[in-house]
Chain A
Amino acid sequence: MICLRSACRDYLMGTQTVHALDGVDLDVEAGEYVAITGPSGSGKSTLLHIIGLLDRLSQGSYELDGDDVTHLSDDELALVRCETIGFVFQFFHLVPRLSAAANVELPLILGGIAAGEREERVQAVLQSFGLADRADHRPDQLSGGQRQRVAIARAMVTKPAILLADEPTGNLDRSSGKEVIHILETLNSDGLTLLVVTHDPELSARANRRLHIVDGAITKDERGAG
């Protein structure tokens, strides 16, 4: 499903070139549950952004679902993101002035879905994440766990094939974190491809596959229950 070959991503920091990704080869099959770990600045977020088409490769190639997406234009990338990829961020990134339902509705609005169908899908996804009674609340009226659940609902409302989560529990207390992980794993067991960047060894131990990244290269690739 995801196929990276000799993937490099260089940044220019002043006069110095930083290799955030340095020749990464990676294959991820549909339905996998991958945890990406590594020290700060190792390039794990960059890898996630590359996979999520939020960032572009400096060198190498990227095939998504058998299509080469390395050289797509910005607008084509936007379309692919809209249709196949869902994001969950550490800091939720909800639009503060919109209600939970309106935040979830956002990707559908951008996708040009008719109002009636949007309504139904938003209701359904809020219901399944236990947020039906919070639909009209703004993000600042929700707890951290609820906010992250709204963010997951927003990522899932377009029914993407891949969900990318960047430290989804990094900003949550323990019990909310567990709740969120439980939701993500349930989605994965229903066939969703799930990639999670995390610092938390307990969380990474739950994944079927664990990638460890140091200095932009994959140093460990373990499979099976940790």
Chain B
Amino acid sequence: MGSVTEPFPISRIAGRYLLFDIDVISYARRTHNTCGVLIGTLPNLSQQNVFLGIPLELMPEEARVLIERGHAYIVDDEETHRKGFLQMSREDRLAYLQYMDELGLEASMESKRKLEERAAKALKGKDLSSSLKQKHAGPAPSEATSNGDEESLFDSSEPGVQPKASQSNLIPHFITPATSYPPLSHPPVDRGLPLPEVPRSYPLFRYMHSKGYFSTPGLRFGCHYTIYPGDPLRFHSHFLATGLDWDEEFDLLDVIGGGRLGTGVKKSYLLGGEDPTADAVTEQSDNGASVEVRPVRTFSIEWAGM
């Protein structure tokens, strides 16, 4: 796992906040209880929706909390890429192509090594390795041919003939990298970019985040956030949260509906809002960033079922 230096960049593309670097994704999850939503297709596993991959879409709330606390900064990825690739110099391009060739050759060697490993394992499993090795001294390995197992036949004979695959006759694979760094260098921190625009449920989100809770979008349960006591990889969620304004009037039926639904799925319904009349407190982060917050009150609602 690579190391991440703070503040890390968050890509802004068409008004959405995305992470492409796996190290940053893992880091944000471990260190800043920010899990976002994976929206990408996993290569080679592109016919299912259960496990998804990079990129990770951050809620504007998540991006804003990370930026307010000085852990991250926004990068305008459209501008960066327009400059970086559409106006790329010849030297940069050739250097990049050569770099990709090197990576491709590595990948090619790696896949060859894996193929050999697998073949050796398969042979071992069938207890054929010893008999095949003996056969190599003789003419054709007729026994293996009769097995009809083409893969093991091919792979077992080749390393026998050429003990080490020479690099020169390997065709480098082509690689689509996940991020654009390299060839682009990380853009400098630009404080001029506006903070992500957040809905009015943001105070509740920030409050729960500051208490160490993990949040995911609440669409599936018809609320603003589904709130987890720990990493959603390991824990069930506890709350279906809806953030409201302090004096906002809302339908009593929402409480009934939320309360019943929440109880039905072993969670409780959470309402919360920020008190605008209270004095703002300045919260200081470890890295010197400070943010003014007002107290938030929360109420948990459960279907009593008496």
A binds B: no
List residues of chain A with CB under 8 Å of any chain B CB.
Answer: none
